[in-house]
Structure 1
């Protein structure tokens, strides 16, 4: 894992030399490396396309930047996704550009708790950043969410009913889109009830490095 000094230097160089999100991927991957047991691997999937081999990584709404996989997982082009294969997806990392304002915990809770009848006006937002994050949470169950400075860890409570429904909805999305039609995944999960936790790993990792590293190392995929 990078030292505090090296990480801080990299952040400064990114700002000065190439201020783009992709520059954060390797240093974020380095930070999470201690969380990966011998049975796990990390893969960069941000460049995949929503067809064939990419469908399982897209899930409900979005390609995250990095996915955490069981090493036994083998990616294949599938017409549908079986729950046994889906369970080999252990989590993901969603990276935003430096100083990007992460969606707040309060905003996520408000979006999820509001009735669907009352949020139709926010549908554009739900298919954008908010939709991507909630979709990642439901599909991958565990999400590290960061802009390189602030770090959060979202974790969905296990519930078999939710698992079955989510996989069914994703398979329905694949079938519908392959037929050339659009698919509203948010509408299809409106009756789901689920709980999750949103843990702040650090508001500014540069200012509380030791505690931040300790919290990261406690993550279980």
Structure 2
């Protein structure tokens, strides 16, 4: 996807259908065209539902499914087995220009993804952020509780939220690329240099 195409698509989404789902195709295209991502599999799991199958838990990030998972091309889901070493990270999208991690629900979801998947690419189409898990937590136990009880049992859900809420996102370090800024007169300025930085970063992104 070329820079001009990206701008056009983002602006059309804002004008016509500003939803997370409308960003998915653009995000997937940008990633799949990058050198580092040609070596992996990028799968859309945003519409998955919890089932009784244990293999579904591999894509459950403690507080729900992410939008995309980044997998080894050798990954095969096996019942009662979670090959976490073959899951390299996830992508979480928010609608265009929505402030990132300002909503407490978004923060809990994000912490759940970061704890479970270790790497999170977080974007609203305007800003792209790249996080690595700094906490070194093994969340297997809370993952089991979360997967079984989330949205079914309020008390259990609150326990999961309490666990996730102890992790602060305010001081997390991350790589950030801001593709558009607002001028003093209210007009929008797209930043081509930031786009180039993002593309170079993605081409060399360490997944494996």
TM-score by length of 2: 0.77
Distance in structure 2 (CA, Å) of the matches to 1:24 and 1:44: 12
Are the equivalent residues in 2 in contact too, given 1:201–1:215 (CA < 8 A)?
Answer: no
Matches within 5 A, 1:2-21: 2-21=1-20
Q: Which has the higher contact order (CA 8 A, sep 6+)?
A: 1
1:135 aligned residue? 112
Distance in structure 2 (CA, Å) of the matches to 1:5 and 1:191: 42
Distance in structure 2 (CA, Å) of the matches to 1:64 and 1:174: 13
Are the equivalent residues in 1 in contact too, given 2:70–2:90 (CA < 8 A)?
Answer: yes
1:182 aligned residue? 156
2:129 aligned residue? 152
Whose helix fraction is larger, Structure 1's or Structure 2's?
Answer: 1
Cα offset for 1:218? 2.6
2:185 aligned residue? none
Q: Paired residue for 1:70, among 59, 69, 72? A: 72
1:117 aligned residue? none
Cα offset for 1:212? 2.2
Matches within 5 A, 1:154-169: 154-157=131-134, 159=136, 162=137, 165-169=138-142
Are the equivalent residues in 2 in contact too, given 1:92–1:140 (CA < 8 A)?
Answer: yes
Uncovered stretches (5+) of structure 1, i.e. residues with no partner: 105-124
Distance in structure 2 (CA, Å) of the matches to 1:71 and 1:41: 5
Distance in structure 2 (CA, Å) of the matches to 1:190 and 1:130: 8
Distance 1:157 1:42, change over 3 A: same
Cα offset for 1:87? 2.0
Cα offset for 1:209? 1.8
TM-score by length of 1: 0.73
Distance in structure 2 (CA, Å) of the matches to 1:94 and 1:14: 17
Q: Paired residue for 2:177, among 188, 192, 201? A: 201
- Equivalent residue of 1:62, what SS? coil
- Equivalent residue of 2:156, what SS? coil
Are the equivalent residues in 2 in contact too, given 1:153–1:201 (CA < 8 A)?
Answer: no
Aligned length: 190
Given the alignment of the two structures, is residue 171 of structure 1 paired with residue 144 of structure 2, yes or no?
yes
Distance in structure 1 (CA, Å) of the matches to 2:166 and 2:14: 43
- Equivalent residue of 1:200, what SS? strand
Task: Give the root-mean-square deviation of aligned CA atoms.
Answer: 3.0
